[in-house]
Homo-oligomer: A and B are copies of this chain.
Amino acid sequence: MVLTVHHLQVSQSERIPWLCEELGIPYELKIYQRAPALAPPEFKALHWTGSAPVITDGDLTLAESGACVQYICEKHGGGRLFPTASHPLYADFLYWFHWANGTFTPTIGRAGMVPDGQDGGGNPMVAYSKKKRDDGFKGLDARLRDNDWLAGNEFTAADVMLVFSLTTLRYFVPMELAPYPNILAYLKRVGEREGVPARDEEVGSGDGVGPGRGGARVVLQEVGEGGQECPVAGPCSQTRRLMLGGILHML
């Protein structure tokens, strides 16, 4: 079975190729461009949610970041980056892995529904949501003061789940990270990882096949606007940075 990552650029699906790079596993990367703002019809046809990410693996089509990440770690990664019950970081990993997309991302999105400085017509949920968002950033900054990675001293899938909300989500919801020096230092560590493509690294040789980090074989395939499948020599594949959508723009 070939694991295929259907990557809608500038979306939560950037977690998935990054995870595959960190695990050093083979996968096919199929890139979809937004058309113009939302997912193109080819992407929406993959899964009923129409949302990124989506992976396919043989007969299986799977969506939802947490599910895709857990599935890939357990089925393709030999359990790496996903501490289990006997691991000393197990409980911390579980907390931050679920917190990233179960609390932090939603809180940012909810608070972002009403611009800062407005009160949403007196809706008490507006002030509450903004406080919970700010509490999240403060709690995260405190966690990263004494820990290199979310779960502790090991990089895990919890980090893969988190980074989108500190980087690419800023395309959609403005946020200011300057008050959080430990978060900024963390993002610098993320940017220095082997699994994160260098800013200007060339990808592939024009035949659609490029080496992944760790010896992984990455097959790129793009789906452009209007459903046209275009060769990988197009602008989206000229740097591996663009494989991951916005991630390195914002680091």
List the interface of chain A (C-beta within 8 A of B). 48-51, 60, 62-67, 70-71, 74-75, 84-85, 91, 94-95, 97-99, 101-103, 105-106, 109-110, 112-114, 120, 123, 125-126, 129, 132, 135-136, 139, 142
Contact in complex: A64, B106 (CB < 8 Å) = no
Per DSSP, chain A at the interface is: helix
Q: How many identical subunits does the complex contain?
A: 2
In the complex where A74-B85, A85-B75 touch, is A129 in contact with B103 (Cβ < 8 A)? no
Question: Could you tell me the distance between the alpha carbons of A94 and B120 in the complex, rounded to whole angstroms?
Answer: 36
* Residues on the B chain within 8 Å of A94, using CB: 62, 64, 66-67, 70-71
* Residues on the B chain within 8 Å of A126, using CB: 113
B95, B106, B129: the one within 8 Å of A67 (CB): B95
Shortest A179–chain B CB gap in Å is 17
Top 8 closest pairs, chain A to chain B, by CB: A106-B106, A66-B98, A67-B94, A113-B113, A67-B98, A101-B102, A67-B95, A64-B98
Contact in complex: A135, B50 (CB < 8 Å) = yes
* Residues on the B chain within 8 Å of A125, using CB: 112-113
Question: Could you tell me the distance between the alpha carbons of A49 and B113 in the complex, rounded to whole angstroms?
Answer: 22
B74, B91, B98, B113: the one within 8 Å of A65 (CB): B98
* Residues on the B chain within 8 Å of A136, using CB: 49
Contact in complex: B106, A105 (CB < 8 Å) = yes
In the complex where A120-B113, A120-B114 touch, is A60 in contact with B103 (Cβ < 8 A)? no
Question: Could you tell me the distance between the alpha carbons of A49 and B133 in the complex, rounded to whole angstroms?
Answer: 11
* Residues on the B chain within 8 Å of A139, using CB: 48-49
Contact in complex: A102, B71 (CB < 8 Å) = no
* Residues on the B chain within 8 Å of A109, using CB: 106, 110
* Residues on the B chain within 8 Å of A49, using CB: 99, 103, 135-136, 139
* Residues on the B chain within 8 Å of A50, using CB: 135
Shortest A175–chain B CB gap in Å is 15
Of all chain B residues, the one with the shortest Cβ separation from A57 is B91
Shortest A95–chain B CB gap in Å is 5
B62, B66, B101, B110: the one within 8 Å of A110 (CB): B110
Question: Could you tell me the distance between the alpha carbons of A75 and B84 in the complex, rounded to whole angstroms?
Answer: 10
* Residues on the B chain within 8 Å of A113, using CB: 110, 113-114, 120, 123, 125-126, 129
